[in-house]
């Protein structure tokens, strides 16, 4: 990729206190943008100040929902070096999801290089304390102003970033187990649908259930298969793992499960530690009868989120006495130590931002 044109901000923002970042509240100074136009393909990428995106009211994304995104992190290592974690995997996932939504796939190498170029410009925004990162949000939306129902003929790919803190950690630095409501009526994604793409529409489909669960004192929902609600699929916006008979079990990928990069990383690390890792369907009955010693979600934002309680329409199943379990804790520590350069990256997951 030729180096993108960079227009630096003339009004840099103050950096927030790295001990109170939360998630997605602050945005770094710049964003990368690249347009796609029918008959011309991708135009030259640019890096410019973070700010509003002009858009026609008739833009396709605002009506027919051609929108998808990615989420990945840049870390400042214990040696001070800034590195991106598995950006190639996110770029490939966006390219495959784009095809499902009839959008032009950004070439993965180019998307990855644009993420690196953006982080190089906003390098000062990558926080240093353990548990913090610069979260990148690559996004692809339809921008053509046209109301006929067909794929748009103009798109915008953009990437911006947000310095973030640890997602759900308690005062002692451990992971706070969450209470989860098992969703036995609504669904997030169905066979044949778009659940395997990181489509904005999947999030829209999930908000109502999540809001109801929150009203009832739960932090998220457990999604089951859309047909019978008999098999477990994902937890909130995370992939799901359970420890059953000392094996690490996760549902096999399908068109209703998102192929998480964290999911893949944790399976690899668990195998490295000699654990048996199995992709197979997990039934409602297995979790309801209390067979799982641990249940946890995995995703880029929180890395690992242990589940302390599952509520099946009023029937409560407490997992590992409501405490964080050893597998969740071990995998969380292993992965976050690799990400901050405190442990060797034997799988080549980190790439230095030059």
Ligand X SMILES: *Cc1c(COP(=O)(O)O)cnc(C)c1O
The helix-helix angle for 261-272 and 87-100 (nearest 10°) equals 130
In terms of CB distance, is 213 or 261 closer to ligand X?
A: 261
For residue 3, the 8-state DSSP code is P
Q: Do the beta carbons of residue 304 and residue 332 sit within 8 Å?
A: yes
Euclidean distance between CA atoms 234 and 224, whole angstroms:
7
Number of H helices and number of E strands within the chain?
7, 19
Tokens matching residue 128: 């240093």
User: Closest distance between ligand X and the C-beta of residue 12, in Å?
Assistant: 29
Q: Do the beta carbons of residue 195 and residue 256 sit within 8 Å?
A: yes
User: Closest distance between ligand X and the C-beta of residue 239, in Å?
Assistant: 5
Euclidean distance between CA atoms 54 and 251, whole angstroms:
41
User: Closest distance between ligand X and the C-beta of residue 223, in Å?
Assistant: 8
Tokens matching residue 208: 């109502």
In terms of CB distance, is 267 or 327 closer to ligand X?
A: 267
In terms of CB distance, is 116 or 198 closer to ligand X?
A: 198
In terms of CB distance, is 47 or 85 closer to ligand X?
A: 85
User: Closest distance between ligand X and the C-beta of residue 303, in Å?
Assistant: 9
Point out which residues bind ligand X (CB under 6 A): 71, 198, 234, 237-239, 258, 260-263, 298-300
In terms of CB distance, is 47 or 266 closer to ligand X?
A: 266
Which DSSP string do the residues of 250-306 spell out, in sequence order? EPPP-TTS---HHHHHHHHHHHHTT-EEEE---BHHHHHTT-EEEEEEEETTTEEEE
User: Closest distance between ligand X and the C-beta of residue 58, in Å?
Assistant: 28
User: Closest distance between ligand X and the C-beta of residue 195, in Å?
Assistant: 7
Q: Which helix (H) or strand (E) holds 212?
A: helix 200-215
In terms of CB distance, is 179 or 263 closer to ligand X?
A: 263
């Amino acid at each position: 990729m030729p180096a993108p044109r960079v227009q630096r901000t003339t009004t840099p923002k103050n950096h927030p206190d790295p001990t109170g970042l939360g998630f997605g509240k602050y945005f770094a100074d710049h964003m990368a943008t690249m347009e796609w136009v029918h008959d011309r393909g991708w135009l030259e990428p640019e890096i410019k100040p973070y700010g509003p995106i002009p858009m026609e009211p008739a833009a396709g994304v605002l009506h027919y929902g051609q929108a998808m995104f990615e989420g990945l992190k840049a870390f400042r290592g214990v040696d001070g070096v800034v590195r991106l974690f598995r950006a190639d995997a996110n770029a490939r996932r966006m390219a495959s999801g784009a095809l499902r939504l009839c959008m032009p796939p950004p070439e993965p190498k180019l998307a990855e290089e644009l993420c690196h170029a953006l982080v190089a410009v906003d390098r000062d925004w990558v926080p240093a304390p353990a548990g913090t990162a610069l979260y990148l949000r690559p996004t692809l939306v339809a921008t053509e102003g046209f109301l006929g129902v067909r794929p748009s003929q103009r798109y915008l790919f953009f990437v911006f970033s947000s310095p973030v803190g640890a997602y759900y950690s308690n005062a002692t630095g451990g992971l706070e187990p969450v209470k989860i409501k098992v969703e036995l009526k609504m669904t997030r994604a169905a066979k044949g649908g778009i659940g395997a793409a990181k489509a904005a529409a999947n999030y829209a489909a999930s908000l109502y259930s999540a809001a109801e669960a929150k009203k009832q004192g739960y932090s998220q929902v457990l999604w089951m298969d859309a047909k019978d609600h008999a098999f477990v699929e994902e937890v909130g916006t995370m992939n799901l793992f359970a420890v059953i008979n000392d094996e690490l079990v996760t549902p096999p990928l399908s068109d209703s499960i998102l192929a998480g990069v964290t999911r893949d990383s944790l399976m690899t690390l668990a195998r490295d530690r000699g654990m048996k890792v199995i992709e197979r369907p997990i039934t409602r009955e297995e979790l309801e009868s209390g067979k799982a010693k641990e249940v946890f979600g995995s995703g880029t934002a929180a890395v690992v989120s242990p589940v302390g309680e599952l509520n099946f329409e009023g029937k409560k199943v407490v997992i590992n006495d409501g405490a964080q379990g050893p597998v969740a804790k071990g995998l969380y520590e292993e992965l976050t130590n690799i990400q901050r350069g405190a442990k060797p990256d034997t799988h080549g997951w980190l790439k230095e931002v030059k």
